[in-house]
């Protein structure tokens, strides 16, 4: 029942960006995809993307974790490691990742300590790869103990930024950045091209194979079917699709 209710919500994303279709697969994919949500979210937020990937032939492991109370180093060992173990226990040698926001930093941290399988491909959606101005701003507020400022500092742009210390990636990575900026008048939020939370420039990282800007918002990009389709395109080919039934996709240099 819940699946039937959420799928129309995800499909509405196509009305915002224009439909982009994943390249068709002739047989069931022999790969497992680990899904990692972002800060203050849960596995439930990734359900539409999980169902989309399963419909495209992938096995999925949709991880959930307490993103606001545990340091990233500890989370990455627990969550990324568990995703790999579960996929391998199901008999899959090829394991990929699709990660939203903070989830991408978990993958980078894990990969800095452990070599990912050679064929692994990773798609990051709105990741704060250069740290986040928003996270840095809110790390200065305790908010009655509701936020774990240590995690926000690790995702920020200051001296405690783990995102900025991790260095170039050594795995196959595609990054999708949203540029449908809004909320620019609120304190701490980006005043340059962004998805409303993470700026386009903050998503890039040396070593990535491909990069694509799309007119989506940070919170809702994981429910946008065009984003889902582009994620599948990268998982299958190691590149995003520049043209599809909806016409050419916009590709720009980060920050332009």
pTM above 0.85, yes or no: no
Give the integer Cα–Cα distance in Å for 170 and 115: 9
Give the integer Cα–Cα distance in Å for 216 and 235: 20
Q: Which two tokens stand for residue 240?
A: 């995003």
Which tens digit of pLDDT belongs to each residue from 47-60?
Answer: 999 999 999 999 99
Q: Is the pLDDT of residue 255 over 50?
A: no
Q: How far is CA 160 from the centre of its chain?
A: 22
Which tens digit of pLDDT belongs to each residue from 107-124?
Answer: 999 999 999 988 999 999
Multiple choice CATH, 2-11+29-235, 3.30.365.10, 3.50.50.60, 3.40.50.1820, 3.90.1200.10: 3.40.50.1820
Domain ranges for the chain: 2-11+29-235
Beta strands in 1-144 (DSSP E): 32-36, 59-63, 95-100, 121-125
């Amino acid at each position: 029942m819940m699946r039937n209710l959420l799928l129309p919500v995800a499909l509405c994303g196509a009305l915002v960006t224009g439909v982009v279709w994943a390249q068709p697969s002739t047989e069931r994919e022999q790969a497992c995809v680990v899904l990692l949500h972002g800060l203050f979210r849960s596995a439930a937020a990734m359900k539409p993307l999980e169902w989309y990937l399963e419909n495209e032939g992938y096995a999925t492991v949709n991880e959930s974790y307490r993103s606001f109370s545990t340091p990233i180093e500890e989370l990455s060992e627990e969550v990324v490691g568990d995703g790999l173990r579960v996929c391998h226990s199901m008999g899959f040698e090829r394991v990929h990742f699709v990660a939203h926001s903070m989830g991408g930093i978990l993958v980078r941290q894990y990969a800095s300590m452990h070599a990912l399988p050679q064929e692994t491909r990773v798609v990051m959606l709105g990741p704060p790869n250069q740290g986040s101005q928003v996270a840095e701003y809110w790390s200065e507020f305790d908010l009655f103990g509701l936020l774990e400022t240590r995690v926000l500092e690790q995702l920020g742009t200051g001296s405690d930024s783990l995102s900025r210390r991790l260095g170039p990636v050594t795995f196959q990575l595609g990054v999708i950045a949203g540029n449908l900026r809004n909320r620019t008048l609120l304190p701490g939020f980006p005043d340059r091209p962004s998805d409303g939370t993470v700026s386009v420039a903050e998503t890039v990282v040396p070593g990535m194979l491909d990069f694509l800007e799309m007119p989506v918002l940070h919170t809702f990009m994981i429910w946008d079917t065009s984003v889902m389709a582009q994620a599948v395109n990268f998982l299958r080919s190691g590149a995003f699709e520049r043209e599809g039934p909806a016409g050419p996709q916009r590709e720009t240099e980060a920050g332009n």
